[in-house]
Amino acid sequence: EAGVTQFPSHSVIEKGQTVTLRCDPISGHDNLYWYRRVMGKEIKFLLHFVKESKQDESGMPNNRFLAERTGGTYSTLKVQPAELEDSGVYFCASSEDPRQGGYGYTFGSGTRLTVV
């Protein structure tokens, strides 16, 4: 079974530019989560999709961030315009059954975003 796939694995962009991160969850997983670890700090929740609906977007930092999950399959996270403080590692996770251990999360390897 393929895991959670994220790309790009690394992205370096200039301040003010736009970047789109993509996450392909495990096939059949309705739950998709975005987290990020900024500047070596703790990993923080951004948002949670159930299929194509946003279940919880309380962690989205501001309106420069836009997440979508059209058709309930893959998800994109767009940052526009990017700022220096957006640098960090963005993780995606998917889950089929949150009643499993660890809520059944499988994390992707992350996208390392560097804004210069």
Partner 1 sequence: GESVGLHLPTLSVQEGDNSIINCAYSNSASDYFIWYKQESGKGPQFIIDIRSNMDKRQGQRVTVLLNKTVKHLSLQIAATQPGDSAVYFCAETYNTDKLIFGTGTRLQVFP
Residues that bind partner 1 (CB under 8 A): 4, 31, 33, 35, 39-45, 48, 56, 58-59, 91, 93, 95, 98, 101-103, 105, 107-110
6 and 16 in contact (C-beta within 8 Å)? no
Minimum separation from the CB atom of position 65 to partner 1 (A): 17
Comparison of 16 and 98: residue with beta carbon closer to partner 1: 98
Comparison of 19 and 35: residue with beta carbon closer to partner 1: 35
- Strands 111-115 and 10-13 turn out to be parallel
Distance CA 105, CA 89 (A): 17
Comparison of 31 and 75: residue with beta carbon closer to partner 1: 31
Query: Please, how many CA atoms are within 13 Å of residue 80, restricted to the half-sphere of its CB?
Result: 9
Beta strand extents in the chain (DSSP E only): 5-7, 10-13, 19-24, 31-38, 43-50, 53-56, 65-68, 75-79, 88-95, 106-107, 111-115
Minimum separation from the CB atom of position 50 to partner 1 (A): 10
Minimum separation from the CB atom of position 103 to partner 1 (A): 4
Minimum separation from the CB atom of position 44 to partner 1 (A): 7
